[in-house]
Structure 1
Amino acid sequence: MGKHVRQRRTHRQMIGVAGCGRMGGPMLEALRDGGARAIGFDVVEKSAPHIAQNLMAFAPDLDTLFSVVRDADETDALLFGTQNLIKTAPKLTRIFICSTLSPRYVRDLRTRIPTRITLIDAPMSGAQVAAENRTLSFMLGGEQGDIDDAIPLLAMMGQNFHHMGAYGTGMQAKVLNNLLAASHTAMTRLVLDWADTAGLTTDKLLALIATSSGQNWLASGFDTIEFARDGHAADNTIGILVKDVAAALDSAPKGADLALPETVQAAIRALKPRV
């Protein structure tokens, strides 16, 4: 009976998505299309009427928050600083941390947020194309009952739900996954540049890679992943990959050899647009 009560609550609550950019925007639309009472918030003005820039249009009735802001500084501003939702959203009872952040930072949030608020780390994978297609993969950290309660909402936005363990383990898994994705991105782009010099046709090489031992997510989705051809910029997804590698480095085991991930990070930072 308790589980059914939690699921009914899912449809009554007011859900907020903070950070309505490449990922948060499509996630908000998926929640609304799925029948959830959902509103967005972004410090940058958006054209959609259901995305507020005025905090008082967002916070007072908020029960569940999906935080999809860029980094730890923006998360601090959202929860404790400029927006201070911990105090300005008195009905807040649950927070999903969806941004890719340092696992150390995420674990420390539990000591800073009142225990009456359920915390779930729920970073996602799949890039903007998966957010738009509602096929995201979520890596989840939290108590089993809280995860069970969350699945009806997450299922509006995604297809794959990986409960990794206690709170914080979802983010640990995500930064390791993104470290691997960053290495694929760096090496795939290098291989394509070398192929150009050798006179190979990009489409033919990508078709070969897709059926051979070099297959990887970036190469397989090169024509649909929005950042596949981008160069590094602070405000794009390639820039975010640099941040994500930094989050993985921050959680590296004591005494670990950091040479390879640091090389990957430098290679991502050096990427130029591929035209």
Structure 2
Amino acid sequence: MAQVAFIGLGVMGYPMAGHLKNRGGHEVTVYNRTAAKAEKWAAEYGGATAPNPAEAASGKDFVFSCVGNDDDLRSVTLGPDGAFQTMKAGSIFIDNTTASAEIARELAAEAEKRGFGFIDAPVSGGQAGAENGVLSVMCGGDPATFERAKPVIEAFGRTIGLMGPAGAGQLTKMVNQICIAGLVQGLAEGIHFAKKAGLDIEKVISVISKGAAGSWQMENRYKTMNEGRYDFGFAVDWMRKDLAICLAEANRNGAKLPVTALVDQFYKEVQAMGGRRWDTSSLLARLER
């Protein structure tokens, strides 16, 4: 059992913190910008709350964060009431935010100066993966620090890998989002084509999902896409944030991402349609408007 803090109780962080308490058996203190959310979590799981990240992190062995973006991450770590102000020597900060590789490297260097470890550990698997505790966790950092953190991360992660030094976890998450963008667009076009051709979508998917066209997106999203329901899964606003990170990194490293850039613009059109909070499979709605 470890002393753990969790900062950020969104749709991912809320159940992840719960697994650290119930499945991991750790003592967990949570902080959330909206205090009522933290109080609700504490009532549900029996943990403690803190009024700011610094108090949440004070004296803890492991501090997790899952917030919105680079600016949010800097605020909860390096701000006046940030976690880095109170973390003890030898502890480990584990960031599950999808953010830039640059902020991961920046925070890793700062953590080293202050005498504690840092792991960038973005996750994949969506809200359902978080709730079921079966997320894929892509980590960047020092191998010895990773080995200490891994048993704690296992409370909510099914597949946990060290991808390389600080920032490598975030770079791997970018690869994940690049692949998803193309897959969802392809699936949207396939379903759209099948409908126009007068085919039975259920029959089509039952066959092609077992062959080379099969994917997690096809298995888990085709039904709701076919029904025109886009209230399940990762929001378009969040995906555009992630794709912006991917495209910015590509500009730095010289990678060519023509499909990713195009799908990002398609999501911009979905936002203009009022679909900012629709899930990413709403690319089909753009084709059917």
Shorter-chain-normalised TM-score: which range? 0.7 to 0.9
Residue identity opposite 1:164 in structure 2: M
Secondary structure of the residue aligned to 2:159 is strand
CA contact (8 A) 1:129 1:224 kept: no
Q: Distance in 1 between matches of 2:231 and 2:80?
A: 32
SS of equivalent residue, structure 2 residue 186: helix
Q: Is the counterpart of residue 256 in structure 1 residue 255 in structure 2?
A: yes
Provide the residue aligned with 2:41 in structure 1. 48
DSSP 3-state at the match of 1:215: coil
Instruction: Give the alignment of 1:114-133 within 5 angstroms.
Output: 114-133=113-132
| 1:177-217: CA deviation from partner (whole Å, max 9, x where unpaired) | 11111221232223323333333333333323311222122
Report the counterpart of residue 172 of structure 1 in structure 2.
Answer: 171
Separation in 1, partners of 2:137, 2:265: 27
**Is residue 19 of structure 1 aligned with residue 8 of structure 2?**
yes
Corresponding position: 1:230 with 2:227: no
% identical equivalent positions? 24
Superposed displacement of residue 51, structure 1:
6.3
Structure 2: 5+ residue runs without aligned partners? Answer: none
Give TM-score scaled by structure 1 length: 0.83
User: What is the RMSD of the two structures over their aligned residues, measured on CA atoms?
Assistant: 2.9
Distance in 1 between residues matched to 2:203 and 2:135, nearest whole Å? 28
Whether the aligned pair in 2 keeps the contact of 1:16 and 1:65 (CA below 8 Å) is yes
Where do residues 180-259 of structure 1 align in structure 2 (5 Å cutoff)? 180-222=179-221, 229-230=229-230, 237-252=235-250, 254-259=253-258
Q: Distance in 1 between matches of 2:264 and 2:136?
A: 23
Residue 107 of structure 2: aligned partner: 109
* Kept in 2: contact 1:131–1:157 (CA 8 A): yes
1:92–1:136 CA distance, 2 compared to 1 (3 A): same
Structure (1 or 2) with the greater helix fraction = 2
Query: What stretches of structure 1 of length at least 5 have no aligned partner?
Result: 1-10
Tell whether the 8 Å contact from 2:56 to 2:83 is kept in structure 1 after alignment. Answer: no
Q: 1:76-106: per-residue Cα shift (whole Å, max 9, x none)?
A: 1111226422114557821111111111222
Tell me the distance in 2 between the aligned counterparts of 1:139 and 1:256.
21
What is the TM-score with the length of structure 2 in the denominator?
0.79
Change in Cα spacing, 1:175 to 1:77, as seen in structure 2 (3 Å) is same
Q: Which residue of 2 aligns with 1:137?
A: 136
Task: Report the secondary structure of 1:95's partner residue.
Answer: strand
Measure the CA separation in 1 of the matches of 2:223 and 2:132: 12
Partner of 1:161: 160
Judging changes above 3 Å, is the alpha-carbon distance between structure 1 residues 161 and 90 closer, same or farther for their aligned structure 2 residues?
Answer: closer
How many residues are matched?
Answer: 261
Q: Which residue of 2 aligns with 1:62?
A: 60
Structure 1 residues 250 and 105, CA gap change in structure 2 (3 angstroms): farther
Correspondence 1:39 to 2:38: no
Identify if the C-alpha distance between structure 1 residues 196 and 117 changes in structure 2 by more than 3 Å, giving closer, same or farther. same
